[in-house]
Each structure stands twice: as C-alpha cells, then as structure tokens.
Structure 1
C-alpha cells in the first residue's frame, strides 16, 4: 500500500510500527515523505498515494474521493499555530495591510489565521506569502516579511530566532469554540477498506505508545536536525487521545472549522455525512 506523510516526529512516531512490519495482518507500506502542502495538492489533483496525511483544511476539496480515517492524525489542545513578529507588539491591528507568511493556503493554520484576522485585524492583512514552514522564521527575523504563521516545532524554537508571539491561534480557537484544534487528517481512497486502515493505524499508534524507544532512531533520522528533546516535545503535543480516536469532540471540531471557513468563502461547503 502506498502512503504519504510528513517527516515530522508525530507522523513517523505514529506510523513507525506499521512501516516496519510490526502490525499483524497489515500490508507492507511504501512511504513517500512530503510536506503537508505537497500532500494537500496530491490529494486534490488525485495523483497521490492511496493513503495520505493532509490538512483538515484541504478536506473539502477531496472528500468525494477520499474517506477520513478517524485516527492517526493531529488534533488536540494547546497545539495551535502561532503568529510571530520581530517586534514584541501583541496588537493585532499592527498587522493591517502587512505581509504575512503562511505554510499553505490549504492548511488549518491558514484557516484559523484568516478566521482570527477577520475578528481582530481592522481592514485585514495585506499580502499573504506562501513558503515552506521551515523558511518562515528566518524570513521574519531578517525583515523580509512582517509576520509569520508557524506550526510544528516552531512553537518551541521561535525565541532562538529573536521573535515574539503576537497570538496563539489555538488558544483563540479553544476560547472561541471550546473545541480542540483540527490540524492534520489521515485520508484513504474510498475504493479501499477504510475500517481496516483505521484498525491498522490505531494498532500502530498503540504500539508506538507501548514501545516509544523502538521508534526513536526512525523519528530522529527524519527530524531535520531536531534535537531529541524537541522531537519528544513535538510527539507529546501532537500525539494524543484524538490520534487514537477522533471521538465526538474531534468530529465536532472538524465540522466547526469547515462550516466557519465555508461561511467566510475560504473553502467549499462540506456535507457532514461525508466526514464519518
């Protein structure tokens, strides 16, 4: 079976057992490691593997062809994207008409930012610039961009770039909705057995939790020079109860995000029945 997910620690941690043949009955995986912006477009264009990790924000474009797998993804609390600037201003109005870098226009981070900005930035921001997430903090630091929307381990490393947090999109979302933040989803072609894929994925998650030391070398080999401590923080933050099972709160969070985004014309409307 072909699968694509990012080289980030949460994804390699989750799928380590399945990738290494440790899940009884699960098919062998042929893995493509790719940034989520790439997998979002693969899914939308119908050219990617049968199973992919994409952003929840990209679901509206692919749900007719792909089923949402209710485990293996990234959804939680206290793990939202951050808006960073070189100054220590916490006034969102200072972003009015400014250039802001984002990791993807089809990312949950982007949807959360646009929904937050609609409430907090008078007149809206100026230019949105899409760039790989690992290039955003250097661009803000060097003054090539006014602010950056960051994800992943940047939550832990941004002070080393001399940057300040203007706003935490996750905190805003949780206060506004009371729901967790839907970030990354596992999807599979509707021609496949989604229940079996969910069972194998869930077994891989549980194996990772039961044997965390076994996945360490695999995780760090793909962690882009990340320190073991930062990789562990990353895993602890993004691999949680919702990774094992979305549950009612998980599905409610996904529906809330996509309904709000559709009202702002950021995504096409979604039939909630296609989510389950």
Structure 2
C-alpha cells in the first residue's frame, strides 16, 4: 500500500508502528515523505495520483472528496496548536494588522488550513487587504521573514517553539482567534484513503498505530529523529505532545464540526468549493 505523509515528528510518531510492521494484519507500506503542499497536490491530481493513503491539509479536502474519504483518526486537530503570523522587528511597530495592508505574506500552501485561517482573519482585520501571497516550504518561511525577503510569514508545526530564535515577533495566533470565534478546535492535517479501499480496515490499522505509539513512545524515537530535519529532541517531543492528542485517535463530533465550520466559512468567502457534507463521513 502506498502512503504519503510528512517527515514531521507527529506523522512519523503516528505511523511508526505500521511502517515497521508492528500492526497485525496491516499491509506493508511504501512510504513517500513529502511536505504538506506536495501531498495536497498529489491528492488533488496535480501530480501522479497513485497514493492509496495520504496526509493532507483539511483545507484541501474539497478538491479530493470524490476519490478519497476522510479517515477519522491519525490526523492533526486540536486546541492551542494553530498557525502563527510572524513579522520581524519591534512587535510594537508590527502588531497592528493594518501593517499588512499591501504587504507580501508567505504561506506554506494555498490549500492549507493555515492559509484559510489567515484569509478568514484578514478579511475582518486588514483594511484594504494584504498584497501578495508567496507559497514556500514551511521551513524557509522564518528565514525569509528574518532576512526581509517578505513582510510577514504564516508558520506551522515546530515554528511555534522556535520563532524567537529568528528575532521574529508574533502578530497573531490564528488558532487562538479561531477557537475564540467558533469555540471549536483547529482542523490542521487529515488522513485520507481511496474510497475503493476497505476504509474500515484502514481506520483500524491507523488507530492501532496511534495507540501503539502512545503505549511504546521510546520505540519510535530513532525513526522520528531520523526524519526530523536536525530538530532538537526537546522540540520534537513538544511537537508530538501538541499535535498527537485525543483527536488523533478519534475525530469525534467536535472534530467533524470544526472541519465543517472551516470549509463552509471558506466556501462562503470563495476560497474553496462547496462540499457535500455526506462525503465527510
């Protein structure tokens, strides 16, 4: 079975057991490790659509639900784990959202939850609108802001813990804004599988891999760190602790409500196609 997910610690932690043949009855995995922008494009058919299971952004679901189904476990959704909008220089000078008017903003993907949250927030808070959106790999965004190549950057994952070391300031925590505005958790990364497959089995194998990871946290450490792009082990552990949570084991009603709210709001703004709610489950 062909699977694609990111080399980030939460994904490698979740899938370690399945990748290493530790889930009884689960098929062998042929793994592609790729940034979320790449897997979003693979799933939507921009590249070779030959993966059976993928980790994508929830924001990319409207383009893939005809062929792929949402698996209700294994993904990243939670509270206190949303994307941050960063600027360089004195926070007092750049904390006003009006600073973004006409400015250049880097995002990790135009089909990412981070991007949708930014657009929904900016529609209310940035007078006259921002200027240009630049898509770049998430690990290049903070250096680009620091070096003045762009005016602001939308960051995800471990950047929550490391951005001060780049001399950057947080303009807003878009996850906190979303939670206070909706009362719902933040839907970040989704696991999807081809509808032609046995979805109940894929769900069971994925959930078993999550549960194995929690039960044997030390077993995945070498695998996680090998793919963690020279990340400090303490940061990797914090990353896992934040993004692998109860929603990873079971999306649940709050999870589905969060996904529906995000995609419906984004559709109302013309950012994504309207979804058929029956295809989410």
Bin of the TM-score, shorter chain as denominator length = over 0.9
| Cα distance in structure 2, aligned partners of 1:273 and 1:224 | 39
Match in the other structure for 2:125:
120
Equivalent residue in structure 2 for 1:69, among 61, 68, 71: 71
Match in the other structure for 1:39:
39
Contact map agreement 1:179 1:252 (CA 8 A) in 2:
yes
Unaligned runs of 5+ in 1: none
Equivalent residue in structure 1 for 2:59, among 57, 60, 63: 57
| Cα distance in structure 1, aligned partners of 2:122 and 2:193 | 32
Deviations 1:208-252 (A, max 9, x none): 000000000000000000011000000000000000000000000
Superposed displacement of residue 125, structure 1: 0.5
Deviations 1:84-123 (A, max 9, x none): 0003122111101100000000000000000000011011
Equivalent residue in structure 2 for 1:168, among 173, 176, 182: 173
| Cα distance in structure 2, aligned partners of 1:173 and 1:272 | 21
Match in the other structure for 1:265:
270
Match in the other structure for 1:248:
253
Match in the other structure for 1:8:
8
Match in the other structure for 2:155:
150
| Cα distance in structure 2, aligned partners of 1:187 and 1:83 | 28
Superposed displacement of residue 48, structure 1: 3.6
SS of residue in 2 equivalent to 1:230: helix
Match in the other structure for 1:212:
217
| Cα distance in structure 2, aligned partners of 1:43 and 1:140 | 29
Match in the other structure for 2:202:
197
Equivalent residue in structure 2 for 1:84, among 67, 86, 92: 86
| Cα distance in structure 2, aligned partners of 1:197 and 1:161 | 40
| Cα distance in structure 2, aligned partners of 1:51 and 1:254 | 19
SS of residue in 2 equivalent to 1:78: coil
Contact map agreement 1:101 1:147 (CA 8 A) in 2:
yes
Residue 109 (structure 2) pairs with residue 107 (structure 1): no
Superposed displacement of residue 161, structure 1: 0.2
Unaligned runs of 5+ in 2: none
| Cα distance in structure 1, aligned partners of 2:132 and 2:271 | 16
| Cα distance in structure 2, aligned partners of 1:126 and 1:82 | 18
Superposed displacement of residue 47, structure 1: 1.4
SS of residue in 2 equivalent to 1:213: coil
Equivalent residue in structure 2 for 1:129, among 131, 134, 148: 134
Instruction: State the TM-score, normalizing by the size of structure 2.
Output: 0.97
Q: Displaced runs of 4+ in structure 1, greater than 3 A?
A: none
